[in-house]
């Protein structure tokens, strides 16, 4: 199930009015266990207060439009340290970072590849593996690309929790 384009635009505008970006709307689960997740981000990240504020405002919009005909949970969240790459421009934005790219089952050459993201060149996701090999993966076969977290670097900064 996908949200109506008008509702998606309204939520995008709501988030933009707060100086943030709506990266994705995700509907997961089914029946009363459905979760509508709004993934938001900003230039310097997202605070808990911003998530709560967006949640209150989005709830009012969703109560009026009633896009899901049964009970569901609204979740407003940041993309997290191990964020997904949602849009094509994310591949340029996070070039140089380590990513894990999962491919659809019909793509036989690789199931998942971890490496340094070189970027998106045309319709090819380019990575450099830890062995130093350059790999090109067809963008249309990417199921999910996600940043890998270097926990040792995070802990070295003195942070015990993300």
The predicted pLDDT at position 103 comes to: 95
User: Can you give 57-111 as a three-state secondary structure string?
Assistant: HHHHHHHHHCCCCCCEEEEEECCCCCCECCCCCHHHHCCCCEEEEEECCCCCCCC
Q: Domain end: 77, 101, 135, which one?
A: 77
| Percent of the chain whose pLDDT exceeds 70 | 96
The predicted pLDDT at position 126 comes to: 97
Number of independent structural domains in the chain: 2
Average pLDDT over residues 61-73: 86
In the predicted structure, residue 70 carries a pLDDT above the cut 90? no
The CATH number covering residue 117 comes to: 2.30.30.180
Measured at the CA of 8, the angle between CA 33 and CA 85, to 5 degrees, comes to 80
In the predicted structure, residue 145 carries a pLDDT above the cut 70? yes
Its domain, for residue 62, covers: 5-77
The CATH number covering residue 73 comes to: 3.30.300.70
């Amino acid at each position: 199930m996908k949200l109506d384009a008008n509702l998606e635009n309204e939520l995008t505008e709501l988030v933009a009015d707060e100086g943030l970006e709506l990266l994705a709307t995700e509907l997961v689960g089914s029946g009363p266990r459905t979760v509508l997740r709004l993934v938001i981000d900003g230039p310097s990240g997202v605070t808990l207060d911003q998530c709560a504020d967006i949640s209150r405002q989005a709830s009012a919009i969703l109560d009026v439009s009633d896009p899901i005909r049964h009970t569901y949970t609204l979740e407003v969240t940041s993309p997290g340290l191990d964020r997904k790459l949602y849009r094509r421009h994310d591949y340029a934005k996070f070039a140089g970072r380590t990513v894990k790219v999962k491919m659809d089952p019909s793509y036989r050459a690789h199931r998942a590849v971890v490496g340094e993201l070189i970027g998106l060149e045309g319709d090819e996701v380019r990575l450099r593996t830890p062995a130093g090999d350059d790999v090109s993966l067809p963008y249309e076969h990417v199921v999910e690309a996600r940043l890998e977290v270097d926990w040792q670097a995070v802990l070295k900064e003195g942070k015990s929790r993300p």
